[in-house]
Amino acid sequence: DIQMTQSPSTLSASVGDRVTITCRASQNIIVHLAWYQQKPGKAPNLLIYRASTLESGVPSRFSGSGSGTEFTLTIASLQPDDFATYYCQQYYIYATFGQGTRVEI
């Protein structure tokens, strides 16, 4: 099984900050990685797929990078609506999610 490890687990930030979340895979997943945002009581929302492709309708302040085993999600300038939990997901072999990163004020 492919394990996905996100860091940090919790991130404290302010509006306007540049935020980076890291996701590491236990083996090479090439670019088969997606990022989701989830707010309390809501279903996840796809932000990025293929490691760096922005989903339609997602603000351009979100970006993804990386390949192989190390990936990052960057929010260029944190907005009030961005306080949420973020998950990475590999889909190279079946699907595995990271444990989540909570972005809080």
Partner 1 sequence: EVQLVESGGGLTQPGRSLKLSCTTSGFTFGDYSLTWLRQAPGKGLEWVAFIRGKPSYGTTEYAASVKGRFTISRDDSKSITYLQMNSLKTEDTALYYCNYWQGEQYFHLWGQGTQVTVSS
Residues that bind partner 1 (CB under 8 A): 1, 32, 34, 36, 43-46, 49-50, 55, 87, 89, 91, 94-100
Min separation Cβ 73 and partner 1, Å: 14
Min separation Cβ 47 and partner 1, Å: 10
* 8 A C-beta contact, residue 74 and residue 64: yes
Min separation Cβ 42 and partner 1, Å: 9
- Full 3-state SS string of 23-41: EEECCCCCCCEEEEEECCC
The DSSP bridge partners found for residue 90 are: 33, 96
